Amino acid sequence: QIERVNELLAFSRSRMSQTVRDFEEKHRYTQLPPALAAPGGATEGEPDVFAELEFDRYDDFNIFARSIDEISADISEIQTELAGFIRSIGEDTTHVHRLTGSLRHEVTRARMVPIGRLFARYAPAVREAARASGKTVDFQLAGETVEVDNAVIEQIADPLLHLVRNAIDHGVETDEVRRGSGKPERATIRIRAHHQGSFVHIEVADDGRGMDPALLRERAVRLGFLSAEAAAALDPREALNLIFLPGFTTAREITAMSGRGVGMDVVRANVGRLNGEIEVQSELGAGTRITIKLPLTVVISDALLVRAGGETFAVPMHAIRSIVEVRPEEIVRAGERERVVVEHDEVDLVRLEQALGLPAARPSARVPALIVRTGVRPLAVAVEELVGKEDVVIKSLGGLLERVGPFGGATITGAGRVILLIDPSRLLEVAEVSRGSQAGPARETPRERPVARPRRILLVDDSISIRKFVGQMLEKAGFEVLTANDGAEAIRQLGEHTVDIVITDLEMPRMTGYELIEDLRARAATRTMPVVVLTTRAGAKHVSLARRLGIQHYVAKPVDEDAFVRLIGSLTIGMAAEAAP
């Protein structure tokens, strides 16, 4: 239909052009009065007996004007028809949008399940954990009818269980202690869910001892995460967030439920993968509340398409707090960091193309920046251009690519183009690594640039399967791995190679892990070398002896791959910070 209207419009325009040309050719060289020009003048057959008002006579100008009027009327009619057709297209488009929205809603609804199904799984685990710890616990649930995407429930199940076990093991006191402090003997642990907009909020709260920010600062210094000065500068809220550091634990001993230093960092990582946030609130002596904020669905989402480094990326709309324009003079540099003031607060600025290693954007008077939520702190993400908002279907990147870059998935456009989805929490981690790698002169020749050696790890275990599994895990994460089957072999390897970190089992032939640790602490060259114990022995005696030998990182098998790699990565980052001038 549009083609037919277009053809009519083209024909009318052609008629008008031809009429104008004919008139121009006819009158270009004539100066005759209009009354004498044929065919407007009198003809042989026309009686020249009528007065001027008794008979209409038409000259070329009259005929030309009439032709123009007719063509204009044709064009107006076509334009009216075209306007109606465009209006019809608009109505059809609106109908399609409504239909698409309805289908999206129905698809999303089909994936929704009551979160009470998840909560019901925890009651037996709570009873078992309370019995094992000798505590009396009243487990309360609220908001079981709140509906959430089944994919969200499956991915948050284990992190929530870890929070509940932590509340029992670390949060609430024993019956005797509670009685002595005037509290009810029966401790209360409560899980509550509620909707807020397109998000679900899940709270895990207890009425236990709460967390002491001063103790957390002291523990961070003792475990080597922070200097005393840096720890003292943390406000109470920042001190509470220390629990999310890989390998951080306040437990005095390892138990079956907690104390291994792997857990809260994994919880935050899982929440981040869902484009969610986690917040900790605690009052000493009154209890702790941990709130997780998650999107209701992770399959279909609104996303903002942006361009950086010549490529297009998607950012989840629910992760964007606001969008601002930043002028170059508003950017404050502090060492390798760039910061901008947003709503009276200084926020770290990350240039997306730099974080991804893409070509730098051309300088601009104003740079669009997305203020995104990372689950830790707000982050300003500078991009080249805002493309537009779209509904996207999020697809997993698969096992091979899920740890590559700050990406939480991908979507495919209608044209078949793959667009990567930015995960703000992982972008924050990538930006920190990127800043560290950019230290030094901006331009170095290959001869001047020092060759960076990957961190070398000595893995000591008498089990060949453990050496292969953990070794491949670390190599995949970018580390160089040497292996030894017992402590004696490890001593020989240390004599031949420079090693940055030692990971050791405890029970081994010829020389045990304890004997190896004693030997390392007795040598000046290895006295301060980080040592991580990886063992199946998680009893209090085993842990206590390791602590007396100076072991700060004690991990029980089976190992959680993500948490373990993060722990080793945090140790190497700490070593790099100590080595920096």
pLDDT digits (tens, 9 = 90+) for 389-415: 887 777 777 666 666 778 878 888 767
CATH of domain 456-579: 3.40.50.2300
Type of residue found at 231 = A
**Predicted pLDDT at 190:** 94
**Residue 5 token pair:** 């209207």
Domain coordinates in residue numbering, the chain: 2-109, 115-211+250-295, 300-437, 456-579
Helix residue ranges per DSSP H, 168-235: 175-180, 213-222, 228-232
Q: Are strands 187-196 and 199-206 parallel, antiparallel or unpaired?
A: antiparallel
Of the candidates 386, 348, 346, the residue with the CA atom closest to the CA atom of residue 366: 386
Q: What is the mean pLDDT of residues 511-518?
A: 90
**Predicted pLDDT at 207:** 92
**Residue 360 token pair:** 């730098």
Distances, alpha carbon 167 to alpha carbons 71, 158, 204, 209, 243, in Å: 84, 14, 8, 10, 13
**In which residue are the tokens 């792997």 written?**
262
Task: List 202's β-bridge partners, or say none.
Answer: 193, 292
Cα–Cα distance for residue pair 212/446, rounded to 1 Å: 50
Residue pLDDT, tens place only, 425-480: 778 777 665 554 443 333 333 333 333 456 889 999 988 888 888 988 888 888 88
Residue pLDDT, tens place only, 10-57: 777 777 777 776 776 666 555 444 444 444 444 444 555 555 555 555
CATH-assigned architecture of domain 300-437: Beta Barrel (2.40)
**Predicted pLDDT at 437:** 40
Residue 71 has pLDDT above 50, yes or no: yes
Residue pLDDT, tens place only, 131-162: 888 899 999 999 999 888 888 888 888 888 88
Q: In this structure, are residues 187 and 202 in contact, taking their beta carbons and an 8 Å threshold?
A: no
**Predicted pLDDT at 295:** 80
Query: Would you place residue 263 in the very low, low, confident or very high pLDDT band (cuts 50, 70, 90)?
Result: low
Annotation: CATH topology of 115-211+250-295:
Heat Shock Protein 90 (3.30.565)
**Predicted pLDDT at 438:** 41
**Predicted pLDDT at 548:** 86
Those residues with Cβ within 8 angstroms of residue 422's Cβ, 6 or more apart along the chain or in another chain: 313, 314, 315, 316, 352, 381, 406, 407, 408
Those residues with Cβ within 8 angstroms of residue 234's Cβ, 6 or more apart along the chain or in another chain: 213, 217, 226, 242
Task: List 386's β-bridge partners, or say none.
Answer: 306
Q: What is the mean pLDDT of residues 308-323?
A: 87
**Predicted pLDDT at 206:** 93
Residue pLDDT, tens place only, 351-397: 888 888 888 777 777 889 999 887 667 889 999 889 888 877 777 77
Cut 0.75: pTM above it: no
